[in-house]
């Protein structure tokens, strides 16, 4: 297993996020990626390399230029508002919901931040753009390796990506690394690609990006959005639209679901992916399905993750793994590497 590691991930280090009316310390912390790297190296799972600088080209295949311009310049704008802002992260506080306009780009920074986001749990920091950009390059590099003939590659980066849409951030995500990898696989010649999202949370950004496309099949096994974040997408009746009708599969499961039932859903997702004719697979690899995860509600145990990796290997597709969520930091390295070792 080749790992493409984002050496700049710690440049994104949020301080506080809004949670139930309070600002609380961020769950999405730099040690997450450090611990996974350490465990990969301890178990000698394979080569670890740095990404190539991919430029904005492959990122603009997924994200709008005006959104990328906003992200790239947001920190300077934030600090220009008030030099004291250098000590605090930027969080949005106003959003254009139904009946508001999204075609007008307000001059006001907070208004623009709201236009390009959907929650107050995702702080933008001094190093967010640098970390997210390098992370997207990891995804592109991993996809290039797989397009070039490698059986699999792992993009190990943070912040995660699957909640980010073409022009919005949220759920700790800024650039949709899995979508960028899937598009890079398409652009390198794969006619059909599948994205399988096994994070606890529905990958609303990835779904939205590919919802009307027939060339990228999206399947997700996740906590039922009636009760679980991101709440407003991820229901079973979302099956795709237009040319993409039938190319979206959501398998929501109730809080408390254990491995046996979860694994049946995974089998169904893999069956549908096989039927889709996908020639390559991107796995949005979230480990917040773990029983000890502090913000999630499934009951997978550490040894189950070997079986997950084995099931993914049986699918027999060239595979790019993209790191997403998982907040039980003491077990995160073990659980992540168990999947990769099970696959290998």
Q: Quick check: 229 binds ligand 6XA (CB under 6 A)?
A: yes
Map the footprint of ligand 6XA across residues 6-65, applying CB under 6 A.
none
Q: Is residue 63 annotated as part of the catalytic site, yes or no? A: no
Q: Quick check: 288 binds ligand 6XA (CB under 6 A)?
A: yes
Tell which one of 9, 201, 213, 272 touches ligand 6XA (CB under 6 A). 201
Map the footprint of ligand 6XA across residues 113-132, applying CB under 6 A.
121
**Residues in touch with Zn ion (CB under 5 A):** 199-201, 286, 288, 325
Q: Using the 8-state DSSP alphabet, how is residue 207 labeled?
A: H
Q: Using the 8-state DSSP alphabet, how is residue 45 labeled?
A: -
Q: Quick check: 145 binds ligand 6XA (CB under 6 A)?
A: no
Minimum CB separation of residue 339 from ligand 6XA in Å reads 16
Residue nearest to Zn ion (CB): 325
Q: Which is nearer to Zn ion, 289 or 334 (CB)?
A: 289
What lies within 8 Å, CB to CB, of 20 at 6+ separation is none
**From Zn ion, ligand 6XA, none, which one binds at residue 252 (CB under 5 to 8 Å depending on kind)?**
none
Minimum CB separation of residue 172 from ligand 6XA in Å reads 5
Q: How many residues bind ligand 6XA (CB under 6 A)?
A: 12
**Which DSSP helix (H) or strand (E) runs through 248?**
strand 248-253
Sheet (strand 280-285) strand order: 48-49, 2-5, 152-156, 319-323, 280-285, 193-197, 216-223, 248-253
Q: Coil, strand or helix: which one is 220?
A: strand
To the nearest 10 degrees (0 to 180), the angle between helices 128-147 and 177-187 is 40
**Which DSSP helix (H) or strand (E) runs through 217?**
strand 216-223
Catalytic pick from 8, 63, 162, 163? 163
Distance CA 51, CA 38 (A): 18
Q: Coil, strand or helix: which one is 36?
A: helix
**From Zn ion, ligand 6XA, none, which one binds at residue 217 (CB under 5 to 8 Å depending on kind)?**
none
Distance CA 108, CA 334 (A): 45
Residue nearest to ligand 6XA (CB): 325
Question: Which region, left, alpha or beta, applies to residue 124 given φ > 0 means left and ψ of -120 to 50 means alpha?
Answer: beta
**From Zn ion, ligand 6XA, none, which one binds at residue 229 (CB under 5 to 8 Å depending on kind)?**
ligand 6XA
Whether 252 contacts 224, CB under 8 Å: yes
CA 166 to chain centre: 13
Minimum CB separation of residue 158 from Zn ion in Å reads 12
Q: Quick check: 238 binds ligand 6XA (CB under 6 A)?
A: no
Q: Quick check: 159 binds ligand 6XA (CB under 6 A)?
A: no
Q: Quick check: 171 binds ligand 6XA (CB under 6 A)?
A: yes
Binding site for ligand 6XA (CB under 6 A): 121, 163, 171-172, 199, 201, 229, 286, 288, 295, 324-325
What are the residue numbers of the active site?
163
């Amino acid at each position: 297993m080749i790992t493409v590691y984002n050496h700049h991930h710690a440049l994104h280090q949020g301080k506080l996020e809004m949670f139930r009316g309070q600002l609380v310390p961020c769950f999405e912390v730099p040690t997450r990626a450090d611990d996974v790297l350490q465990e990969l190296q301890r178990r000698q799972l394979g080569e670890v390399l740095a990404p190539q600088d991919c430029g904005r080209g492959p990122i603009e295949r997924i994200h709008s230029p005006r959104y990328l311009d906003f992200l790239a310049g947001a920190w300077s704008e934030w600090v220009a508002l008030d030099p004291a802002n250098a000590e605090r992260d930027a969080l949005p506080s106003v959003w254009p919901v139904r009946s508001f306009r999204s075609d007008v780009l307000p001059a006001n920074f907070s208004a623009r931040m709201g236009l390009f986001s959907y929650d107050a749990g995702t702080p933008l920091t001094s190093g967010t753009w640098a970390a997210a950009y390098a992370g997207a390059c990891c995804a592109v590099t991993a996809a290039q390796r797989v397009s070039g003939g490698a059986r699999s590659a792992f993009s190990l980066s943070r912040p995660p990506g699957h909640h980010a849409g073409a022009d919005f951030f949220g759920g700790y995500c800024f650039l949709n690394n899995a979508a960028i990898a899937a598009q890079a696989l398409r652009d390198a010649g794969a006619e059909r690609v599948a994205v399988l999202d096994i994070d606890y949370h529905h990958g609303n950004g990835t779904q939205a990006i590919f919802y009307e496309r027939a060339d990228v099949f999206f399947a997700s096994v996740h906590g039922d959005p009636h009760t679980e974040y991101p709440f407003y997408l991820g229901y079973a009746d979302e099956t795709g639209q237009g040319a993409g009708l039938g190319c979206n599969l959501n398998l929501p499961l109730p809080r408390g679901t254990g491995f046996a039932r979860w694994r049946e859903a995974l089998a169904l997702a893999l069956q549908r992916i096989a039927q889709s004719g996908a020639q390559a697979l991107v796995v949005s690899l979230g480990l917040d399905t773990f029983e000890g995860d502090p913000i999630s509600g499934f009951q997978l145990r550490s040894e189950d993750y070997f079986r997950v990796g084995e099931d993914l290997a049986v699918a027999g597709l060239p595979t790019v793994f993209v790191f997403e969520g998982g907040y039980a930091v003491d077990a995160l390295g073990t659980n992540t590497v168990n999947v990769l070792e099970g696959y290998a």
